């Protein structure tokens, strides 16, 4: 008899990584992640692209922080 952890881990139903919807006849993959539709693929790639560009936001915030400090002196 499986314990509760094993039964939660292997529910037997595979779901989309973005919308948690059921898979149809066609399953799309992006970076080895199973996705249910082209719409979810586009959402996944947009999310990865925005995650990749976090350094640009950090640089903008750092520039504003240094401008505020130099203007106060």
Indicate the pTM of the whole model.
0.56
Report pLDDT for 73: 52
The percent of residues above 70 in pLDDT, for the chain, comes to: 70
Average pLDDT, the chain: 78
- What's the pLDDT tens digit per position in 42-63? 999 999 888 877 766 677 777 7
Residue 22 DSSP code? B
CB atoms within 10 A of CB 44: 19
Domain ranges across the chain: 14-68
What is the maximum alpha-carbon separation in the chain? 70
Provide CB contacts within 8 A for 27, sequence distance 6+: 34, 35, 36
Extract the tokens encoding 25: 């006849």
């Amino acid at each position: 008899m499986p314990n509760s952890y094993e039964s939660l881990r292997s529910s037997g139903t595979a779901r989309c990584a973005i919308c948690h919807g059921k898979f149809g006849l066609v399953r799309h993959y992006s970076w080895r992640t199973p996705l249910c539709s082209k719409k979810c693929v586009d959402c996944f790639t947009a999310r990865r692209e925005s995650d990749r560009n976090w350094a640009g936001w950090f640089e903008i915030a750092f520039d504003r922080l240094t401008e505020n400090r130099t203007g106060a002196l």
